[in-house]
Structure 1
Amino acid sequence: MFGGIVASILRLQEPARPRPWLRSTLGQALLLGLAIALAAPADPSFAASTLVTAPDGTFQGKLDTTSTVRQFLGIRYAQPVTSNLRWRPPQPVTPSVATQDATQLGNHCPQGVSPFGIATLTEDCLFLNVYAPNGNDGSQSGGDEGRPVMVWIHGGALAVGESNGYNATRLVQRGVVVVTINYRLGALGFLAHPALTGESPDRVSGNYGFQDQQAALKWVRRNIRAFGGNPEKVTVFGESAGGLSTFVQLVSPTASGLFHRAIVESGAYLLTPPTLAQAEAAGTNFARAVQCNQSNPADVLTCMRALSVSTILSVTSFTPAPNVDGKLLPQSIASALKNGQFNRVPLMNGSNHDEWNLFVALDFDLTGHPVTAASYPAAIAATIGVPPTSPAVALVQAQYPGGSYPTYDQAVGALGTDAIFACTARFADELASDFVPTFAYEFNDRNAPQNFLPPVSFPYGAAHASELQYIFLFGKTQLNANQQLLSDRMVGYWTKFAQSGDPNGNGAPSWEQFSRGRQVMQSLVPPLPTAEMNFATAHQCAFWDQLTNRTVLARR
């Protein structure tokens, strides 16, 4: 089922299908991080230095335009992954004695044109950014031990996106240090191949982007105290592919000790990734597509490492994904959560009420082919990733009769949301809550502004990624008064969780911990969140659990 989310985004890069609306959106503020907080200047008596000396070097940063946030931008956390380091684990940087300019954003990783990132061919891209409060004020200062640290992993189907656009001012003003990172994407970040596996000392390949994320977390552990952060209080959080990445790190033994809480936003869509063998088969197809299918493995690697970045990006049939390689990912995410074999840290996990509406717009309305009664069965098959002749299509159509929705587009949006995001998130909650404090949410602002795509024939609702503007600053559309109140509560929940592993406090509506026996979700609805008890029924999770043979072991 997961292929739909990746394919929907990747299809935007196909040169054979130009879309006029795409060109126009790239000229607008649909790219993240263009808004700037309008806050009063910080009291100069509390001003902190923008020149920081850390174990990896001395960094000259700058203040933001409000003087409330210190920014240290474009910090290299690993060596350039170019030439012979392409498709290899990231290598550590050598500490520098020279002061490094950290006032400009670094390169981000190669990707094609899309509404979800800025196209680039620059392979030297392993940079991070640090955003820290300017001074010792703030509700969660942390005193001598340092402030909580939140490390953000951006989304984009592991194919597009970058760290650069996420304006973390709202979070930083609550007293946390925020780090945003770039990591390798697409085939450059996730290609597995028998020849790559053969040259690896661990006999693995793929998962390079996740290794990059761990390298960034190691940089944070070494250096963040110099920026006022506490390396023993690190929260990893991300949305979409960043949420999936957070799950990967949650269950990866090679990430043990690198973080202490995890927040997943819309990231439960691939709890059972492909095996290494399956990933190698996909990589073999990729190599064949770029004419690197020599019989000698060494020749294959020489050929692939000589490819131009544009040639690599041209293979839009490649679907980046984690693979169960036996090292970074010894078992599937679902299996690790079920067995309790994961990094046991407090977890916040959630989804949006209308996730799949974004992808219905991409795949149907914005291609000029809205779903009709005649095309509805084919749309079902494409959404859940089965052949049109599969018996599952008729079962889903009976469960989601298209005529009972305002439009067939909205019927596909509902079933896609339930199958791919909502019920998989609930399943992860059921598994994880046996072992760690788990706080589940649903983002429920059905009038959330849509900052990525133009209007379509149906309301987007609380679509995929629409919660981001309530945590970060981006987009042209301003939140109304009630939405600003919700944003304030959400930022409070996120930062309080980073501080204590529990989102409750600061006068916000109480958020009950999730348990398998009492499945309470926090409904993030404006103006004030409230408890939600009927999530599984509303999203028809019993149907999807049965259809996918999804089961939970007896409660411990």
Structure 2
Amino acid sequence: MLLLITQSAFTVEAATNESIKLATPVLKVTGGKISGCFGEDSHVLIYKGIPYAAAPIGDLRWKRPQPVKAWQGTRLCNTFSAMAFQRERDMKSFYGKEFHDPQSEPQRSEDCLYLNVWTPRSAAGNTKAKLPVVMWIHGGAYMSGFGFEKEMDGEAWAKCGVILVTINYRLNVFGFLAHPALSAENKEGLSGNYGLYDQIAALQWVVNNIAQFGGDPKNITVAGQSAGAGSVKNLVTSPLCKRFISKAIIQSGGGLGEFISTEASKDKLEALGMQMMDQLQAHTAKEMRALSAEKVLGALMPFMRQAKAGLFTAPYIDGVALTEDFTSAVKDNSIADIPYLIGSNANDIMPMDKAITDFAAARDSLSKRPVYVYHFDRSLPGDTAGSFHSAEMWYTFHTLKRSWRPFTQADYELSDRMVTYWTNFIKYGSPDGDKTWKPCTRKAPYVEVLQTKK
């Protein structure tokens, strides 16, 4: 039966750490025991800042994620972690104003491999609940962002019976630097892609641990927006993890063809990494790891401009995590054979409509699994930016009340509808049981237009 989202008036008062420990189930996950906290709704629990891998600092900088270190006692997970080390945000910029608050911006740290779980209170600790799960990957061009930005929240989804996991992963030069000295340390002769391996490690953590939160490890959707959508495309392509994925949601990440390219060669990326580190007078892995995070990051943008390197700190085909690009994998039918929900916005950063319907047509010719396509076409109130890149995020997570914009009742109704569509897809593989939102096929390329009702 398809469920509709309802707004709840329940709130809870702030509780002491000790009372939270008593009020929320203590769960055993990889590394030790954890307790969580209440969401705004007392029927939802949040476990914030759970480590899924060892801190990638010191000798672990520019190494693939290592197993999390165990802790003693019960770890209180009621505070979000630091975000991955990245440039400080310009709060006066369009996106700074739109999605970030200078009063609550988290600290930056290389110690960033943490995730967060929203789950119904009734499900936590019940390994037989078998609720559907979604792992969300944030956007930011693989350069910035974090998994608990104010537009991202799992309360609405948890009230619909879906468990949301959001993750941090290493970004920019810390997540994707390739360099000959780093490749020499690896038995496969590879470097870079650390952020991609982080995402794979997080997904493996979800598979191994989500039952503790009431989730079904065999019903995991991966979802993301922008570079997070590009990451989803990488995960459904990767031979290391695509078997763990039951559905995928790709928001404003293109379709067939290039979005954020993965096709740069290992040799080219290593050469660029060596040029950048040579300018910092760091030639060995030991010298590179001795540099401060501020110095490494501070050199990145000037080097990219000088070398005209473009986005060279991003995932690439390394032959292990990625053996081919997404488009090739679609055409040879080697991506995860699962249902897909994919779309873009009317005023997105680039035209994506044809690339997306081409993807749907290609899947239709090779698989019986459906592809559902949307087009978000609500011009957000408050300015003339229209349906800009990332605009749909307020609606996807039902977090409109956190925005400065003068949203109307029609906006809240559109958000209700989208949360219902998204959570139904996560549960059942269809946004509405194919009643009005039909799969997009070669002969019937249906696209669901998401806009406010007049």
Q: State the TM-score bracket (shorter-chain normalisation).
A: 0.7 to 0.9
Distance 1:54 1:82 in 2: 22
* More helix as a share of residues: 1
Match of 1:221 among 181, 197, 207: 207
Partner of 1:338: 331
Maintained 8 Å contact 2:247/2:426: yes
Match of 2:275 among 265, 274, 285: 285
Maintained 8 Å contact 1:125/1:183: yes
State the secondary structure of the residue aligned to 2:243.
coil
Partner of 2:117: 130
Match of 1:444 among 377, 394, 405: 377
Distance 1:449 1:84 in 2: 49
Give the counterpart letter for 2:376 in structure 1: F
Q: How is 1:87-106 mapped onto 2 (pairs within 5 angstroms)?
A: 87-106=62-81
- Change in CA separation of 1:517 and 1:303 when aligned onto 2, cut-off 3 Å: farther
Task: Give the length in aligned residue pairs.
Answer: 406
Give the counterpart letter for 1:517 in structure 2: K
**CA-CA distance at 1:243 after TM superposition:** 0.5
1:108 partnered with 2:83: yes
User: What TM-score results when the alignment is normalised by the length of structure 2?
Assistant: 0.83
State the secondary structure of the residue aligned to 1:224.
helix
Q: Percent identity?
A: 33
**CA-CA distance at 1:517 after TM superposition:** 3.0
Structure of higher CA gyration radius = 1
Maintained 8 Å contact 1:266/1:425: no
State the secondary structure of the residue aligned to 1:257.
helix
Match of 1:54 among 29, 33, 41: 29
Which 10-residue stretch deviates more, 97-106 or 73-82?
97-106
Match of 1:176 among 117, 142, 162: 162
Partner of 1:323: 316
Give the counterpart letter for 1:479 in structure 2: F
Q: How is 1:4-23 mapped onto 2 (pairs within 5 angstroms)?
A: none
Q: How is 1:360-379 mapped onto 2 (pairs within 5 angstroms)?
A: none
Maintained 8 Å contact 1:111/1:119: no
Q: How is 1:274-423 mapped onto 2 (pairs within 5 angstroms)?
A: 274-292=264-282, 294=283, 299=284, 301-314=285-298, 315-316=300-301, 317=304, 319=311, 320-356=313-349, 417-418=350-351, 421-423=352-354
Cα deviation digits, residues 239-279 of structure 1 (max 9, x gap):
00101001000100011332211101011223553232332
Maintained 8 Å contact 2:84/2:109: yes
- Change in CA separation of 1:239 and 1:104 when aligned onto 2, cut-off 3 Å: same
Q: How is 1:113-262 mapped onto 2 (pairs within 5 angstroms)?
A: 113-114=88-89, 115=96, 118=105, 120-135=107-122, 144-165=128-149, 166-262=152-248
Partner of 1:24: none
Match of 1:264 among 238, 250, 253: 250
Distance 2:406 2:191 in 1: 44
1:486 partnered with 2:423: no
Which 10-residue stretch deviates more, 75-84 or 278-287?
278-287
Match of 1:426 among 357, 378, 381: 357
Partner of 1:81: 56
- Change in CA separation of 1:85 and 1:48 when aligned onto 2, cut-off 3 Å: same
Cα deviation digits, residues 446-494 of structure 1 (max 9, x gap):
x2247xxxx5xxx211110000000121422253111211111111111
Maintained 8 Å contact 1:262/1:347: yes
Distance 2:268 2:29 in 1: 42
Partner of 2:93: none
Maintained 8 Å contact 1:193/1:284: yes
1:273 partnered with 2:268: no
Partner of 1:512: 438
Give the counterpart letter for 2:205 in structure 1: W
**CA-CA distance at 1:136 after TM superposition:** 5.8
Cα deviation digits, residues 179-213 of structure 1 (max 9, x gap):
11000000100111222222212222211111101
> Could you list the runs of 5+ residues in structure 2 that have no partner in the other structure?
1-6, 13-21, 90-95
Which 10-residue stretch deviates more, 321-330 or 468-477?
468-477
User: What TM-score results when the alignment is normalised by the length of structure 1?
Assistant: 0.69
CA RMSD across the alignment? 2.5
Give the counterpart letter for 1:135 in structure 2: S
State the secondary structure of the residue aligned to 2:217.
strand
Maintained 8 Å contact 1:81/1:90: yes
Distance 2:40 2:440 in 1: 40
Which 10-residue stretch deviates more, 145-154 or 56-65?
56-65
